[in-house]
Chain A
Amino acid sequence: MRKDHELHRRRRSRNYGLLAVLLAFAALLFWVTVAKMGSNAGNPWG
């Protein structure tokens, strides 16, 4: 099996880190949107 170069390891750490930040940001936006829409958010009959 081919061993990863140090460069690839560092780039992978950056990419996964960025992915985690973007997912967390999307989750935060969703949470705030639900909160700002009020307690009836997500209730189609509300």
Chain B
Amino acid sequence: MTEISPAQISAARISEAPRSAEPEFRDFVLLLKPRVMSLVVFTALAGMVAAPVWVHPAVAVASLVCIAVGAGAAGALNMWWDADIDARMRRTRNRPVPSGVIEPGEALGFGLGLSLISVLMLSVFANPLAAGLLAFTIFFYAVVYTMWLKRSTPQNIVIGGAAGAFPPMIAWAAATGEVSAASVLMFLVIFVWTPPHFWALALFRNEDYARAGVPMMPVVAGEASTRRQIWLYTLVLVPVSIAPAFTVAGGPVYLAVALAANLAFLRSAWRVSRRGQDIAVADGYRAEKRMFGVSIVYLFALFSAFIAEAILGAVLGAFAGGFDWPVWF
């Protein structure tokens, strides 16, 4: 006889449960994962501003809206598929689908509809390349990460992190109509940053992931191995995040910010990598929580530096005829 897994029981319970309340507008906004969306908008804005071409503000705003809505649509599809996992995790059990406010079918329809609209509108507003990249990103997040990798491998966040890394590349493509070394490096910065960022979170949310049966690195490989990998990924991140300084999107401001941010990130990752589980439990995972906070500030600082660099370049270009800066990539 085929055994029924807890995930299947939970999914069945969610789909059969009567609606707990009529959904408000706010509930549909929550389905789009607004916090993730704000990060997507910010990194995409940096990609758009750093692109070495002038984009009409209307086209820029419209493209950013499409990228944000596309990311939100992927989030809605993720919430539809993962409702069983979300119901078992403290952090996510109040989301609209597991709490019964929005029915799974509604979340699916909402996600698919917005995916289609955002991709089509981006191809009209910007170009087919940007629209194709957005479509691939939604597919990658909803199908490759959510449906396949998340439940099957502890490398879920490593490969799945690509979905979160695409927005600046899509915005760059919307502005220039091409993919270049600078936009690939922007992608790589977020791609390599994602594992240490999420594993720092997973270390102090380990119980939640274990209860939900999600094979996050600390659940499968143990804390010691996770700490070692956090350190290794941080070492890879250093050159990857400094390299954009020597592209058309970089410059002295970006280089200075990248050096300072990497020092802070290396310091917090080193602390996390040198600790054992006993010490971490004793002080309530202080270093891990701190590293998680540092990682958010780190990404914010790097992408703010891209924006600052673009503004500085425009001002200097207009008043002082620009300045020489080595562009290697």
Contacts and interface: CB of A to CB of B under 8 A. Distances in A.
A18 B25 contact: yes
Contact of B22 (A10, A35, A36): A10
Interface residues of B, number: 16
Residue among A6, A10, A16, A18 facing the most chain B CB atoms (10 A cut-off): A10
A35 B24 contact: no
Contact of B23 (A6, A14, A28, A32): A14
Interface string A9-26: 011011011100000000
B58 A10 contact: no
A14 to B, nearest CB: 5
A35 B21 contact: no
Residue among A11, A16, A28 facing the most chain B CB atoms (10 A cut-off): A28
> Chain A: interface residue count, which band?
10 to 19
Contact of A32 (B21, B29, B58): B58
B99 to A, nearest CB: 14
A32 B124 CA distance: 10
A45 interface: no
Interface in B241-276: none
Nearest to A20: B25
Contacts of B22: 6-7, 10-11
A11 B26 CA distance: 11
Interface in B94-139: 125
Contacts of A10: 21-24
8 contacts: A10-B22, A13-B24, A16-B25, A17-B25, A18-B25, A28-B62, A32-B62, A36-B59
Given A14-B25, A32-B125, A35-B57, 18 more contacts: A6-B21, A6-B22, A7-B22, A10-B23, A10-B24, A14-B23, A14-B24, A14-B28, A16-B25, A17-B25, A17-B26, A17-B29, A18-B25, A32-B59, A32-B62, A35-B56, A35-B58, A35-B59
Interface of B: 21-26, 28-29, 56-59, 61-62, 65, 125
